[in-house]
Amino acid sequence: MNIIEITDLSFSYREDVDALHNVNLTIKKGEWISVLGHNGSGKSTLAKLIIGLLKADSGDIFVDGILLTEETVHEIRRKIGIVFQNPDNQFVGVTVEDDIAFGMENLNFDRLDMIKKIDEFSKKVNMNEYLKKEPHELSGGQKQRVAIAGILAMDTDIIIFDEATAMLDPKGRESIMEYIRELNKEGKTIITITHDMKEAVNSDRIIILKDGEVLAIGETNTILNDKETLNASNLELLLPLKLLYKLDEANIKNEKVKDILWQLSLNK
Amino acid sequence: MAIKFEQVSFQYPSFDGKNFSALENINLEISDKGEFITLIGETGSGKSTLVQHMNALLRPNTGSVTIYGIKIEKNTNKNKKIKLNPLRQKVGLVFQFPEYQLFEETVLKDIIFGPKNFGVKEDEAIKRAKEVIKHVGLTEDYLGRSPFNLSGGEQKRVSIAGILAMEPDILVLDEPTSGLDPKGRDALLELFTNIHKKLNKTIIIITHDMNTVYKYASRVVVMHDAKLVYDGLPNMLFMDENIEKWNLDLPDIIGITKQLEAKLDITFTKKPHNVNELFELMKGVL
Amino acid sequence: MKNIIVGQYIPGKSFLYKMDPRSKILALFILMVSAFVFKDITHIIYMLLGVLVILKIGGIPIMRIARGLRPIMILLLFTFTFQVLFIKTGPVILDTVLTLTTINIGIMILAIVVWYYTRRYIKSKFFYMVLVIVGILTMLSLFTPGTVISSSNLTIYEDGLLGASFIMVRLIIIVTLSTILTLTTKPTDLNLGLERILKPLNLVKINSEEIALIISIALRYIPTLLDEANKIMLAQASRGVDFTEGKFKDKVMQIISLLVPMFIISFKRSDDLANAMEARSFVPGNKRTRIHILSWQSRDTLVIVFCLLVLTATVVVRVYL
């Protein structure tokens, strides 16, 4: 079943250039899809369009069968949670507890229910000992975890990570990636937006954007094997992949080595 | 030595009386004769505090920092005879976010802001601006544009140009490549290499990216829990067994080489520095 | 890492901390009205004693209150002097001539210079200043050798002195009471209390919940913005801006170099924040449930009843005595 269907989507900030041009995309329930692209490729614009923070110039977005319009946007936002890039600019509450509660308060959750959920999901992201802490006492990675807890508490089916790791140090980055993998296993539909191929290798499918257009879309394995497309994408190839391509070019056929390199590419 | 740290400690004051120790007993010497130094360590290990001592933005609580012969200690500022400002021309510091410094209507005005503060005449400053804008990989057309209509990468370049125009001997950059995509990052690092080689300036970069360290640096300084724990060659650092304790990753090339050696149960004859060298080594084995 | 405290809240355990912020705000309001009902100096001094008792029971160190009073000391002194000099009714309690002579003007200037350079070593600067002023006035009145430069009358009437003291005590009571509130209530609780108390304003289309949300976001971002301002200052200092010196024209430029980045970053921030809030289903004006609730307990009722009794008593005293 398709939880998101995007047809012929176009959007431009200025009249002369399209930030996104004719994007078509379907996402299945429970799938993890990575949107890969260089800076300015339109990937964050896509996220903002899906949750209705921007209004498309043309094309349709269906979420769970509902067409995104001004009337349905609030209904659709209840199905999608999004973690943005800057940890500081999405922390609304005065304390961790307040911030996890913010979305639930907007959705008029019962107070006792909120307290239960704050407890449950702060534990899930390992922030239960920080409930009374204020944002300036937390690291970037911790703030992003709080954002995740706030979204889990709202119980959305879909979670978008819009370069959620870009401003974190390697440790913070790895911890967020860990949660993404776990949430996907638990059945959440995940969209990660990134320019780092390392963060995309574990997803089910990859869509590559370049200058606002879809360059490629397909199963992760297929995309990673598509040398021409990846070279055209302006992205940085993973080192084992580069080696793999080089072996191919030199016509060296050693299945064992190839298999090892493939596994290394997939971060295994 | 251009900059010399002697037993420097620094604490950030806190309202609840528990001071936060950011630097503990740091000893460090930096020359202005073309070093390429990367400064690494976890978030909160004291890297930014350390570089803010290099151009006298901060003064040590104990110990001293000597910058171009001027000794800076805890009470230096009270003695008004010592001017700290000229030191900031010699040691140019670029902050992580260009948004912190860009404020003028045009790129040109923003670039000449620094030089003019240090008493450079307007026409000389403009001449420098036209020069440095090329060093940072932009064209003269940019000079007339507003800095706020540029992309993130371009803003970063303009902010670096603004410091370069001051003609510092040492250029310090706080996480210059964070938030950039791989293409943008590599372009910027190439640019620093050029500045380093052509203008023979010492470059100091704070980074979390071990590939940058391994590929570009001639020297690496590691901070861990407010202490300086390593100062030496990048090659040697990644053989150090403490590297895990300091929470540092390995550069991709070293990590992949190690894993290949383990999985294929072989040892390569030498240590590859890039993917081509590794490929050649593999060809030899297969 | 860095610890920035917004507001004056200091943690504690007394009954003042256990009270509902609403009852504290109401009590403050009622007691302030009482302070304005009083007309007589003795009565208001009784009230001051009462306030001191509250401080004692509430376990609030009196030095904290004194620190709160410090910023308005000049105002207090000014009001006091003004009242003393310009109310000219009642019996005269002091009538003297202040004479400025060639000799005592020298001593006066010397005293001021000595005061100026020694004040940093004296712990209680305010009393030191008052002492110097009183000393100079005494000298001008009693010690007048040399040629007279000018002289003027200084007459103090009883009503003037009493009136001045009265106003001073009233101001001290008001400031002390509000300091008690801010010392014992977290800014967030205060905000929540105000929101609930102002709820009736919703009838006249003023949305107290939205105002409270704005205040809470402001509270949340104050430490972030302070940190940011500091970094911008360091970044500009790295470009040779010397914030410690410069002519007026330079100063203007320095301030612009701080304000422009500050504004640009804040706009970006508020834009991002608005997106984040909307994405989490925030719709301005919609009803929201709240995680924090206030619980009004019998102790709160008791305090309010007590305060109302005080108010009644003051009205009775005012009317019948």
Q: Touching check for A252 and chain B: CB below 8 Å? A: yes
Confidence of residue C74 (pLDDT cuts 50, 70, 90): confident
pLDDT at C1: 36
Find tokens 């534990």 and name the residue. Answer: A123
Helix (H) or strand (E) holding C162: helix C158-184
Q: Are strands B91-94 and B170-174 parallel, antiparallel or unpaired?
A: parallel
Distance between CA A89 and CA B226 in Å, rounded? 28
Same domain, B258 and B149: no
The Cα of C268 is separated from the nearest Cα of chain B by a number of Å equal to 10
Q: Touching check for A166 and chain B: CB below 8 Å? A: yes
Confidence of residue B224 (pLDDT cuts 50, 70, 90): very high
Minimum mean pLDDT among C4-13, C105-114, C115-124, C227-236: which range? C4-13
Both structure tokens of B156: 């970063």
* Average pLDDT across chain A, whole number: 92
Q: Touching check for A108 and chain C: CB below 8 Å? A: yes
Of B47, B2, B35, B83, nearest in space to B227 by CA: B47
Chain segment B78-110, per-residue pLDDT in tens? 666 778 888 999 999 999 999 999 999 999 999
Task: State the best of C227, C228, C291, C294 to mutate against chain A, taking most chain A CBs within 10 Å.
Answer: C291
* Interface contact flag, C239 B101, Cβ < 8 Å: yes
Minimum mean pLDDT among A41-45, C153-157, C236-240: which range? C153-157
Instruction: Tell me the chain C residues in contact with residue B20 when contact means C-beta distances shorter than 8 Å.
Output: 1-3
B182-198 vs B152-164: helix crossing angle, rounded to 10:
10
Q: Are strands B20-30 and B3-12 parallel, antiparallel or unpaired?
A: antiparallel
* Average pLDDT across chain B, whole number: 90
The total number of structural domains in chain B stands at 2
pLDDT at C187: 84
Q: For residue A237, what is the DSSP state? A: P
Same domain, B188 and B216: yes
Same domain, B144 and B19: yes
**Burial (CB count <10 Å: 0-12, 13-18, 19+), residue A192:** buried
Same domain, B76 and B218: yes
The Cα of B81 is separated from the nearest Cα of chain A by a number of Å equal to 37
Same domain, B281 and B194: no
Distance between CA C175 and CA C190 in Å, rounded? 17
pLDDT at B221: 96
The mean pLDDT of C102-108, rounded to a whole number, is 86
Chain C residue closest in CA terms to A110: C289
Domain ranges for chain C, please list them: 90-156
Distance between CA C159 and CA A202 in Å, rounded? 86
The mean pLDDT of B252-267, rounded to a whole number, is 90
* Interface contact flag, C1 B103, Cβ < 8 Å: no
Instruction: List, edge to edge, every strand of the sheet that includes B36-40.
Output: B91-94, B170-174, B202-206, B36-40, B219-224, B227-232
* Average pLDDT across chain C, whole number: 86
Both structure tokens of A1: 């079943």
Task: State the best of B279, B280, B281, B285 to mutate against chain A, taking most chain A CBs within 10 Å.
Answer: B279
* Interface contact flag, B282 A247, Cβ < 8 Å: yes
Of B144, B149, B146, B148, nearest in space to B129 by CA: B144
Chain segment B24-75, per-residue pLDDT in tens? 999 999 998 889 999 999 888 999 999 999 999 999 999 999 999 999 988 8
Return phi, psi of residue B66, to 5°.
-105, 120
Same domain, B174 and B281: no
Same domain, B189 and B58: yes
> What residues of C are in the A interface, CB distance below 8 Å?
1-4, 188, 216-217, 219-220, 223-224, 227, 268-269, 272-273, 275-283, 286-293
Task: State the best of A53, A79, A104, A106 to mutate against chain C, taking most chain C CBs within 10 Å.
Answer: A106
* Interface contact flag, B282 A171, Cβ < 8 Å: no
Name A214's Cβ contacts closer than 8 Å, sequence gap at least 6.
Answer: A22, A23, A24, A25, A207, A208
pLDDT at A171: 87
Instruction: Give me the DSSP letters along C190-248.
Output: HHHHHHHHTGGGGGGT--HHHHHHHHHHHHHHHHHHHHHHHHHHHHHHTTT--TT---H
Instruction: Tell me the chain C residues in contact with residue B85 when contact means C-beta distances shorter than 8 Å.
Output: 240, 242
CA–CA distances in Å: residue B182 to residues A160, B176, B226, C67: 22, 13, 30, 55
Chain segment C266-290, per-residue pLDDT in tens? 999 999 999 999 999 999 888 889 8
Identify each DSSP E strand in chain A by its residue range.
2-11, 20-28, 32-37, 58-63, 66-67, 80-83, 158-162, 189-194, 205-210, 213-219
Instruction: Tell me the chain A residues in contact with residue B279 when contact means C-beta distances shorter than 8 Å.
Output: 243, 246-247, 250
Instruction: Tell me the chain A residues in contact with residue B178 when contact means C-beta distances shorter than 8 Å.
Output: 166-167
Q: Name subunits touching C (3+ CB pairs < 8 A).
A: A, B
Gyration radius from chain B CA atoms: 21
pLDDT at C79: 84
Task: State the best of B54, B81, B83, B101 to mutate against chain C, taking most chain C CBs within 10 Å.
Answer: B101
* Interface contact flag, A111 C291, Cβ < 8 Å: yes
Beta bridge partners of B220: B38, B232
* Interface contact flag, A247 B43, Cβ < 8 Å: no
Same domain, B37 and B71: yes
Count the alpha carbons within 13 Å of C24 in the hemisphere toward its beta carbon: 27
Buried b (16+ CB within 10 A) or exposed e, B179-191: bbbbebbbebbeb
One-letter identity of residue B61: N
Instruction: Tell me the chain B residues in contact with residue A247 when contact means C-beta distances shorter than 8 Å.
Output: 279, 282
Same domain, B268 and B238: no
CA–CA distances in Å: residue C140 to residues B169, C94, C107, C112: 64, 14, 10, 14
ipTM over 0.85: yes
The Cα of A39 is separated from the nearest Cα of chain B by a number of Å equal to 6
Same domain, B210 and B255: no
One-letter identity of residue C30: I
Distance between CA C208 and CA B111 in Å, rounded? 47
Confidence of residue C6 (pLDDT cuts 50, 70, 90): low
CATH number at residue B37: 3.40.50.300
Chain segment A197-220, per-residue pLDDT in tens? 999 999 999 999 999 999 999 999
CB atoms within 10 A of CB A195: 26
The Cα of A198 is separated from the nearest Cα of chain C by a number of Å equal to 26
- The whole domain housing B213 covers 3-250
The SS3 assignment for A198 reads: helix
Q: Provide the chain A residues 119-178 that lie in CB contact (below 8 A) with chain C.
A: 134-137, 150-151, 154
Chain segment C195-222, per-residue pLDDT in tens? 888 888 888 888 888 888 888 898 889 8
Chain C residue closest in CA terms to A152: C280
Both structure tokens of C318: 């005012």
Q: Touching check for B238 and chain C: CB below 8 Å? A: no
